[in-house]
Amino acid sequence: MSRGGVQRPNEEVRKAQNMALMSQAGSSHCIYSEKLRCIGGHSNIMNNMEMFKMKDICFGLDISSLNSSRRVQGNYLNRIGVERRRGGLAIVAASPPTEDAVVAAEPLTKEDLVGYLASGCKSKEKWSRIGTEHEKFGFEFGTLRPMKYEQIADLLNGIAERFDWEKVMEGDKIIGLKQGKQSISLEPGGQFELSGAPLETLHQTCAEVNSHLYQVKAVAEEMGIGFLGTGFQPKWGLKDIPVMPKGRYEIMRNYMPKVGTLGLDMMFRTCTVQVNLDFSSEADMIRKFRAGLALQPIATALFANSPFTDGKPNGYLSMRRHVHIWTDTDNNRAGMLPFVFGDSFGFEQYVEYALDVPMYFVYRKKKYVDCAGMSFRDFMNGKLPPLPGDYPTLNDWENHLTTIFPEVRLKRYLEMRGADGGPWRRLCALPAFWVGILYDEASLQSVLDMTSDWTAEEREMLRNKVPKSGLKTPFRDGLLKHVAQDVVKLAKEGLERRGFKETGFLNEVTEVVKTDTTQCQNDSNTLFKLIELFRIPSELFFILVGVTPAEKLLELYHGKWGQNVDPIYEELLY
């Protein structure tokens, strides 16, 4: 690779890369390339999977599973039906703001907002779905510069035409694509995001990721465009990042500097991979929410992959998590949510929390109305200054929930949000980690038992320190790495009990928690004798254990790369 850019893959390299993308974790998980040559999209690849066929997805509601919420759910179901109520339009179920919002004929109540969240409860036979989302940075092969919007538009149009996706427009600008239950969207700085369909197995969700990358590469490489899998833009500053023509992002961009100094970095220079998982009842949601929050710093460490900013090391293993954490961003809408661990937590308390988060916007008449810093409670009372006398719909409530950025986010499912974006092999490992823990009763209970005596101060400490020290973060009488080893073991056991032969997807995180003691030939006695004899500082000892992806990148930077960050565009190229 030249210092000034990344060489475009030739035909042989392209074929080899595409063949690699077809392979799943483990030797037996392969989708034949012949089946992918004629992919028209996600539905076709799923039809070709003989072992794990897709079933219709039904978002049913098991009211009996929420004894404490019977009245709430019943009220919710009545209010979102097609019937008219007191002569006015019923409030519609929330959906992406692609059309004019329905005007509410009567005010929403807090009960409606609680019921919206409760409607996510699914009976056991209808849940256990896996929805994976990932973002990536597009760049020009020759210059490594970020893609311009015009290039992104050409890419979206090319994917739509070649692989039969439906275009999503805002005004006369293309801003995304849809196909079935999956979508492609643009983050504020042009980060290219796949929001996957809710699927049954990790084989299916990884096949979906691979199909997406195949389609994107097929069009992008012809344009001289590549995609980088990392958590933070490693080379370019905010002034170099294009702004996407989306109204909501303009509002956020104007508001962010008023509440901190890192908000724009969070918007324009970060990428993540996350998984969205179901719950069967309010009690099930609470247990998964608590386990997810407690373990989020471990996920951050395992997937830490953003050690560079502005072309040099930034002092963090996960710069992405750093800009999400500190009050320099917007502490009103981020954090570890200590109230989740309280005895009174449930759907209602989360609604109270979300109501206190300042608004960003309302979508009306195909335009975003700037409501930054205003109160959703005032909106519910018809007192929103830009829209006096107007009341919110459930669509407005859903949009508001998307502007909250805690470590775990509750909508009609739970979002695990702690991991950096990474290369394709880690895009399957992240959902595998969480599915093995949260979708297996024994592993989930073991995690809850393990973390039950962790204090709020300890959870906050881990959240603050892990972005810098990763698995080497001291915790109680050991290192976070030791806890992570136990958790990864529980995840593997949970996947084994699922019975779908999914444990191979955990290989990436298993490798991270292995001890790296090659300098001492795995002789722990020699290692500790050296530490004692030469009084080696603990910081140097920690280098020998728990190597994260970010640390491997830093080793390359200081060695093979000659303190030049450009090779990361080849190292982490999709």
Q: Could you tell me the sign of the dihedral formed by the alpha carbons of 447, 448, 450, 451, in that order?
A: positive
Chain-centroid distance, C-alpha 343: 28
* Residue 353 parent element (H or E): helix 347-355
Closest CA to 125 of 56, 69, 183: 56
**What are the C-alpha distances in Å from 239 to residues 142, 266, 470, 549?**
20, 14, 30, 28
Q: CB 535: neighbour CB atoms within 10 A?
A: 7
Closest CA to 378 of 107, 114, 115: 107
Domain extent listing, the chain: 11-54+126-344+406-571, 63-119+358-403
* Beta strand residue intervals within 207-322, DSSP E: 225-228, 273-277, 308-309, 312-313
Closest CA to 79 of 381, 394, 377, 346: 394
Q: What is the pLDDT of residues 46-93, one digit of tens each?
A: 333 333 333 333 323 333 333 333 344 444 334 333 233 333 333 333
* Of the options 3.30.590.20, 1.20.120.430, 3.20.20.140, 3.40.50.720, the CATH number for the domain spanning 11-54+126-344+406-571: 3.30.590.20
Q: What is the pLDDT of residues 482-534, one digit of tens each?
A: 999 999 999 999 999 999 999 999 999 999 998 543 333 334 444 445 445 55
Q: 241 exposed, middle or buried (CB, 10 Å; 0-12, 13-18, 19+)?
A: buried
Q: What is the pLDDT along the chain (574 residues), one digit of tens a residue?
A: 444 577 766 655 555 454 444 434 433 333 333 333 233 344 433 333 333 333 333 323 333 333 333 344 444 334 333 233 333 333 333 344 544 445 566 789 999 999 999 999 998 777 779 999 999 999 999 999 999 999 999 999 999 999 999 999 999 999 999 999 999 999 999 999 999 999 999 999 999 999 999 999 999 999 999 999 999 999 999 999 999 999 999 999 998 888 778 889 999 999 999 999 999 999 999 999 999 999 999 999 999 999 999 999 999 999 999 988 754 556 678 889 999 999 999 999 999 999 999 999 999 998 999 999 999 999 999 999 999 999 999 999 999 999 999 999 999 999 999 999 999 889 999 999 999 999 999 999 999 999 999 999 999 999 999 999 999 999 999 999 999 999 999 999 999 999 999 999 999 999 999 854 333 333 444 444 544 555 544 444 444 457 999 999 999 999 999 999 999 999 999 9
CB crowding 315-346: b at 16 or more within 10 Å, else e: ebbbbbbbbbbeeebbeebbbbbeebbeeebb
Place of tokens 């795995």: 522
Place of tokens 């427009």: 169
Q: Where are the alpha helices (DSSP H) in 388-506?
A: 394-401, 424-427, 429-438, 441-451, 456-469, 480-498
| CA–CA dist 218, 452 (Å, integer) | 48
**What are the C-alpha distances in Å from 24 to residues 30, 218, 369, 497, 503?**
5, 19, 44, 20, 11
Q: Where are the alpha helices (DSSP H) in 256-318?
A: 263-268, 282-302
Residue type, 352: E
DSSP secondary structure letter of residue 124: G
**What are the C-alpha distances in Å from 345 to residues 278, 288, 338, 353, 445?**
18, 13, 10, 11, 18
> What's the number of CA atoms in the CB half-sphere (13 Å) around residue 460?
10
